[in-house]
Amino acid sequence: MLLSLVALTEVIANGADAAPAAEQQQAPSDEKGEPKDPNTPKSPPAHRDNDPSDPNQPPANGLVENGNEEDDDSMFPDAEDMVELFDLFGRIFNDQYITETGFVDYTTLRRKRADLIKASNLLEKLHPAVLMSLNREQRIAFWINTYNTCILKLIIDNYPIQPKWYMILYPSNSIMQIPGATTKVFFRIMGLEYNLKEMRNDLLLDRYRDPRICFALTEAARGGAILRNEPYLPDTLEEQLDDQVHRFLNSPHGLRINRQSNVLHLSNVFSMNKKVFLESEYAEILRFRARKPEERAWLNFLSKYLPQEDAQWLDANDPTIRFIDFDWNLNEK
């Protein structure tokens, strides 16, 4: 954790000092009056992580090219802000509040919410130049931790959750009982306002097109991704994302195989995130080509992460796919 933070400090410090002054301006509003994310190009094509023509994407080494060294340093926040933020992530995502199986002790977290409040305040004042100086892995780790922090704060601010009579289709303690939980509750980050849906889709899934991220973003529900009791770090991101997929597929609500009836029972997480699977590399693999495009992508993805015996069974038996009912009960301890 300490080594990752030190490395992160060096990259941020180098990148922030070099960020062009033109990028410090706040992004204008679009025609609909919605605030634009200063880190998002207007229409980002696929695979532009290192396109030098895109000022919002860092080069391969993760550093912004040298700008005017005479720029006023006060325009950039101290690199310690990001280090402090990741330290706060470590104090939020740990076994004091979160079990190995991803259940949260919301009662204790609500009582000891100081770190959650500090992280929220730091996210609000964070300068966009810091994020612009990060490489791909650092950005993904930042946004996953930020999203999960915001959803924890949403639950804490409404805990214990009060059921609504008109939400009878959901459990009484579900996040869905919170009005506008994913679309109408906004979190201030770098001076702009984002809801959970925008962070999840626009800033992570649509941008990076990595289906593994689906299994890192908590829904605050027992049927969703298993919340880790550690923060995501750039240096270990690949291993953490792979581990999230394995843990989810090994859980009862993730995947079940019925060989007798030739049925593959899949979590609704796959269906809910169909778009990112269709836009991923797994949709291009020339296997399972007789299946629907989304099924082909799902099966190719599963073939990589399931044990060899199960992957061979998928390839040989052409199973029917059925979805497991999503458990919206709160992931509380």
| Local structure of 312: helix, strand or coil | helix
Determine the pLDDT at residue 1: 55
For a pLDDT cut of 70, what percent of the chain falls above it?
76
Q: What does the buried/exposed string (b/e) look like for 46-63 if buried means 16 or more CB atoms within 10 Å of the residue's CB?
A: eeebeeeeebbbbeeebb
In whole angstroms, give the CA distance from residue 236 to residue 217. 16
Confidence band for 22, pLDDT divided at 50, 70 and 90? very low
**Structure tokens belonging to residue 235:** 């240096």
The SS3 of residue 187 is: strand
> Average pLDDT of 168-187?
98
The SS3 call for residue 21 is: helix
- If one counts every other C-beta atom within 10 angstroms of the C-beta of residue 283, the result is 18
pLDDT at 146: 98
Q: What is the pTM of this model?
A: 0.79
pLDDT attached to residue 222: 97
Please determine, for residue 62, whether its predicted confidence score (pLDDT) is greater than 90. Answer: no
Q: Residue 269: count other Cβ atoms within 10 Å of its Cβ.
A: 22
Give pLDDT tens digits for 109-138: 999 999 999 999 999 999 998 999 899 999
Q: Which pair of tokens denotes residue 245?
A: 């997929």
Q: Which one is predicted more confidently, 28 or 139?
A: 139
Q: What is the CA radius of gyration of the chain?
A: 21
User: If you average pLDDT over residues 34-57, what whole number do you get?
Assistant: 44
Section 313-324 average pLDDT: 97
Residue-wise pLDDT for 235-293, tens only, equals 999 999 999 999 999 999 999 999 999 999 999 999 999 999 999 999 999 999 999 99
Residue 245 · residue 270 · CB < 8 Å: no
Residue 157 is encoded by which pair of tokens? 């601010």
User: Which pLDDT band, with edges at 50, 70 and 90, does 21 fall under?
Assistant: very low
What tens digit of pLDDT does each residue of 75-84 get?
Answer: 234 468 899 9
pLDDT value at residue 63: 37
pLDDT at 59: 42
The pLDDT of residue 299 is above 70:
yes
**Average confidence score pLDDT of the chain:** 84
Q: If you write DSSP's letter for every residue of 119-168 in order, what string do you get?
A: HHHHHHH--HHHHHT--HHHHHHHHHHHHHHHHHHHHHHTPSPPP-TT-T
> Domain map of the chain by residue range?
2-21+77-233, 255-324
Whether pLDDT at 51 is above 80: no
Question: What are the Cα distances from residue 260, in Å, to 171, 240, 251?
Answer: 33, 34, 20
* Residue 156, CA distances (Å) to 56, 104, 107, 276 in order: 33, 11, 8, 29
Q: Is the pLDDT of residue 44 over 90?
A: no
Q: What is the pLDDT of residues 225-236, one digit of tens each?
A: 999 999 999 999
